Amino acid sequence: MRFKQKIAKLSLIDSKDDSFRITTQISVDHLMNSIDHVGMLNLPLLLEKKTGYKIVCGFLRIEACRRLNWADVEVKVLDSDTKKLECITYAIADNSLQRPLNLIEQSRSINLLYPFFKDFSALGKELSIMGLPGNPSIIKKIKELCHLSGSVQRGILSNTISLVMALELGRLQQGTGDGFAKLFETLKLSLNKQREILTLVKEISLREDISMLKVIENDMLQKILSNEDPDRNQKIRKIRIYLKQRRFPVITAAEKEFESHLKKLKLGSETKLIPPDNFEGTTYILKLFFKNLIELKDRQASINALIKNPSLRQILDRLT
């Protein structure tokens, strides 16, 4: 690395040029305190331009100095003819050697390096040297992340949205991925529940011939979300019920009718009547729970009473 150590005026340092920015961090409060008390331990690395400097490493350090109202700062300045690939390598190394890079930072690193390598295998070898994922198939997936919308990227950074789900949201129509990202961020859903809701919304969209975004922007769903009830699990349950009812109206109606008749049967905890899956068959299952012959005889009496109950006839007649 060929550089000169010098004092540079902050007014000549271009902080708007993000060409080599890797970090997703924004806050500089901790840096301001550190720099103000002990000074700059790790000098920013700049690239000399015709009319000033471009930042290669140290975006947050430069910003902290600006907020401290410094007029100038000690820096390391690369020669103006330093190759772009060298600058990229310095930027990635400066970040990755200090801390593990998050997925968006890894994606930025991959996209900066990608144009200089003939294939993902060669790129993977370079990334491995810098402590980043070297598997070509993983690299391809991570590469797409920094091209996703801001809402989806924020979901990744907050660990609300996984790599797999982020890529799936990225394949949706513009704006739809943002809608799901905001929904998932609000509800803090597990991956399985995210997939369930995404699938239900897709199927409702196809069934009703409307956009997926229109489904999740529905007044009923938004009313559940905006409810001041702090119980997140209750909100999740209500949204899942709403979507299932909308996706499977016939099955939902059958479930409600079945539950209504089931209450009239008054079976108790020792007897369970189980309907066919999705009410598509004609075979019911009756489960009996007992510990001895005396309890079994009691169940026999319950079965005889059940057979005579008109509510059972109404349940069975529905599928004949």
Q: Are strands 13-14 and 52-57 parallel, antiparallel or unpaired?
A: parallel
Structure tokens at 164: 């797999």
**Which tens digit of pLDDT belongs to each residue from 49-96?**
888 999 999 999 999 999 999 999 999 999 888 999 999 999 999 998
What's the predicted TM-score (pTM) here?
Answer: 0.77
pLDDT digits 0-9 by tens, 241-273: 999 989 888 777 778 788 888 888 888 888 999
First to last CA, the chain: 83
Average pLDDT over residues 108-137: 93
Annotate 9-69 with DSSP letters as a single string: EGGGEESS--TT--------HHHHHHHHHH--SS--EEEEETTEEEEEE-HHHHHHHHHTT
* CATH code of the domain occupying 1-99: 3.90.1530.10
| Per-residue pLDDT at 108 | 97
Those residues whose C-beta lies under 8 Å from the C-beta of residue 91, and which sit 6 or more positions away, are 20, 21, 22, 56, 57, 112
The candidate with the shortest Cα–Cα distance to 85, out of 59, 60, 116, is 116
**Average model confidence (pLDDT) across the chain:** 91
Per the listing, tokens 């660990």 go with 159
What letter does residue 110 receive in the DSSP assignment? H
3-state secondary structure (DSSP) of residue 74: strand
> So what's the pLDDT on residue 260?
87
Give percent of the chain above pLDDT 90: 68
